Structure 1
Amino acid sequence: MKNALLTLAGVAFFSCSALAQTDTLHAPAAVLPNVYADPHIAAFGNKFYIYPTTDGSEGWNSSSFTAWSSKDLVKWKYEKVILDLPKDLSWAKARAWAPAIAYKNGQYYYYFTADVNIGVAVSDKPVGPFKDALGKPLIKKGMLKGQMIDPMVFVDDDGEAYLYFGQGNCNIVKLGADMVSYDSTKVATFKPKGYNEGSFVFKRKGTYYLMWSEYDTRDPRYSVAYATSKSPLGPFVKAENHPVLKGKGVVKGAGHHSVVRVPGTDDWYIAYHRFKIPGGNGYNRETCISPMRFDEQGNILPVDVFEKLKPVKVK
């Protein structure tokens, strides 16, 4: 009888352990309240910041951008509206999507999509207020094939800055020293296999990583792949272990990400959106953060969207 009870206990323990390893019905909570998508995460000083798209409207018709700050990646503080299209722009009033931010020249440059154009605004603080730098789009709708959306700016170690953008194709151009100009004859266009939108670039140990989202943001299969290069302009070679971020179980549509390194460390985190849980879809998405790790060869390891996020500190 004793042996039988031990056997039953062992089976129960094994079952519970197996369930804990395979349970895909209980995902960690989103880091921002309500519905926000396309998060661009950055570290400035001793704080982290997220710049998202305000979600929740059919056709993604939001008209303003917000900023959020955190000291530990877990608890986030709402700062304010940092750019209001109807008030702050003369050339677009709606469809405020997928922003990015970069720091150079003692200024913060905020790149954003507005009515399928790309604009740039500037401030001396990471939470604004931001002022339209040009009074017109930096990248105008219809300038190239595909949609002129999803800007990303990477500032290299030598101070040179590069703009990545586009849906359907990935476009790259070196920015001028002023961060608001470029040579339109030097825009390079290419399409990695599977590329759709949401490009993001970072550098680690001399390697440039170009990441992007595949499928459509309304598709539960929405996911993230990447390629590497020894130059910010490429050529980029797609990694074999893709996608590195994808949904599973209750997590659907995990994509349109950004990446941040904890200053002073080699610890990396990926911010992304997923369909809101429960009842979300491509217009109702929520922002999440997960650890992102590398193997000894520098390959990005698959992200576990069920790993609980632990607080971190900027040293």
Structure 2
Amino acid sequence: MKSFKHIIYTAFCVFALSATTIPAVQAQSSNNPLPVAFGDPYVLHDGSGTYYMYGTGGGAKQGFSAYSSRDLKNWKPEGQVYFHDNKNGWGNGAFWAPEVYKVENKYYLFYSAQWKHNPTNEKENFRIGVAVSDKPTGPFTDLNDRPVFDPGYPIIDANVLFDKGRVYLYYSRCCYKHPVESEVAAWAKAKGWYNEVEESWVYGVELKPDFSGTIGEPVLLLRPPVKNDPATAWESRSVTSREANRRWTEGSYIFKHKNLYYMMYSANNFDGENYAVGYATGKSPLGLFKKSPDNPVLQKNGQVSGTGHNSVTWAADGRTMYCVYHGRTPETGHKRLVFIDKMRIDKKGKLVVDGPTVKR
């Protein structure tokens, strides 16, 4: 690969190009849910007038599939784009949450998977990898025969930020074997529900320019609340509804608006109806981040439930924003499908998602 500065400059040019060449998405009635059975959907601006969507599941066998669209409404299946048994494949199961970034006319797919190297036979042995392709539709080949790095605990949900000549990786430490004391945990134990409550936390760390590893130590950015507070009670619904002895902070997605960094994140059980999205803001890529008092910004509404693990994409004007996420309806059952709704940041800096909506 070329110099770090050249890589990042090119990435910025691609992002700027994609914001000006993709046909504008016209205001129209909701097309939700889309007939795309993805969890954790992520949409890429290719710069050629086409959007590409990647996600968990969607019929892929030990890997990832993709869809393409010119208007964010009608999506064409592109088939499986990543296979676990490529020449450098290191994963052997649970392929989750793919995100694809275009840098210097190459496409880099970041994803989570169970690591083959598992000497202690951990039930959750997730790590993050990166694969490369000449095309957004693959095939993608892992850069190395190992994960990007090993923090010593399972991690999922990679998200990448290119900012001021540097690259940052965000991820979620899994709940697995991570019990944390909190007022909610003490309350659940006193009720005789759970002896402990495990938590997942969001971290950020700088990436090497060739994506081969990390620079410095990971920084804790977001975690569930320690004290009971009405403003953050929504993050504990999986525990307070006796759904699980876990509190999740995962599926982070970061972007910059003016001089502020917005980090969206999901809380509660991805497989339950209480999955919801909030956000926090910070003045630098590695925080500190402060959660919004207006959370959650996306949650169940009677028509849609299990709303979460979102990404953000933009229309051709570079200002109209869309929140891409998965959810469920009574008609579609338990299967996760993709939803796309408009979102915005108002004059006071408040992030608002105009959803969840269903077809009308």
Give the TM-score of the pair, scaled to structure 1.
0.80
Q: Deviations over 1:54-107 (max 9, x none)?
A: 158xxxx95120111111000011112111113455422221111112222332
Q: Deviations over 1:284-303 (max 9, x none)?
A: 21111111122111211143
Q: Aligned partners of 2:87, 2:269: CA distance in 1, in Å?
A: 30
One-letter amino acid of the structure 1 residue matched with residue 342 of structure 2? P
Aligned match of 2:161 in 150, 154, 159? 154
Q: Give yes or no for contact 1:111–1:119 (8 Å, CA) kept in 2.
A: yes
Q: Aligned partners of 1:160, 1:276: CA distance in 2, in Å?
A: 40
One-letter amino acid of the structure 1 residue matched with residue 76 of structure 2? K
Tell me the secondary structure at the aligned position of residue 345 of structure 2: coil
Aligned match of 1:173 in 205, 209, 223? 205
Q: Give yes or no for contact 1:40–1:271 (8 Å, CA) kept in 2.
A: yes
What are the equivalent positions in structure 2 for 1:205-216 lying under 5 Å apart? 205-216=258-269
Q: Aligned partners of 1:264, 1:159: CA distance in 2, in Å?
A: 24
Between the aligned residues of both structures, percent identity stands at: 34
What are the equivalent positions in structure 2 for 1:110-189 lying under 5 Å apart? 110-115=109-114, 116-140=126-150, 143-145=151-153, 147-156=154-163, 158-166=164-172, 167=174, 168-183=200-215, 185-189=216-220
Q: Aligned partners of 1:285, 1:276: CA distance in 2, in Å?
A: 9
Q: Give yes or no for contact 2:308–2:325 (8 Å, CA) kept in 1.
A: yes
Confirm whether residue 306 of structure 1 aligns to residue 357 of structure 2.
yes
Tell me the secondary structure at the aligned position of residue 51 of structure 1: strand
Aligned Cα RMSD in Å? 2.2
Aligned match of 2:340 in 286, 289, 298? 289
Question: How far has the Cα of 1:277 moved from its partner?
Answer: 4.3
Q: Which residue of 2 aligns with 1:19?
A: none
Q: Aligned partners of 2:102, 2:113: CA distance in 1, in Å?
A: 21
Q: Which deviates more, 292-301 or 69-78?
A: 292-301
Distance change >3 Å, CA 104–CA 55, structure 1 → 2: closer
Which runs of 5 or more structure 1 residues have no equivalent in the other structure? 1-26, 310-315
Q: Give yes or no for contact 1:209–1:229 (8 Å, CA) kept in 2.
A: yes
Q: Aligned partners of 1:176, 1:85: CA distance in 2, in Å?
A: 24
Q: Which residue of 2 aligns with 1:231?
A: 284
Q: Aligned partners of 2:257, 2:152: CA distance in 1, in Å?
A: 30
- Aligned residue-pair number: 271
Question: How far has the Cα of 1:227 moved from its partner?
Answer: 0.5
Q: Which residue of 1 aligns with 2:77?
A: 78
Give the TM-score of the pair, scaled to structure 2.
0.70
One-letter amino acid of the structure 2 residue matched with residue 163 of structure 1? L
Q: Deviations over 1:126-185 (max 9, x none)?
A: 222211101111134xx345x3111011112x33211000140111111111123212x4
Larger Rg, first or second structure (1 or 2) = 1
Q: Which residue of 2 aligns with 1:12?
A: none
Tell me the secondary structure at the aligned position of residue 85 of structure 2: helix
Q: Aligned partners of 2:332, 2:294: CA distance in 1, in Å?
A: 30
Which runs of 5 or more structure 2 residues have no equivalent in the other structure? 1-29, 115-125, 175-199, 225-234, 236-247
Tell me the secondary structure at the aligned position of residue 253 of structure 1: strand
Q: Which residue of 1 aligns with 2:64?
A: 65
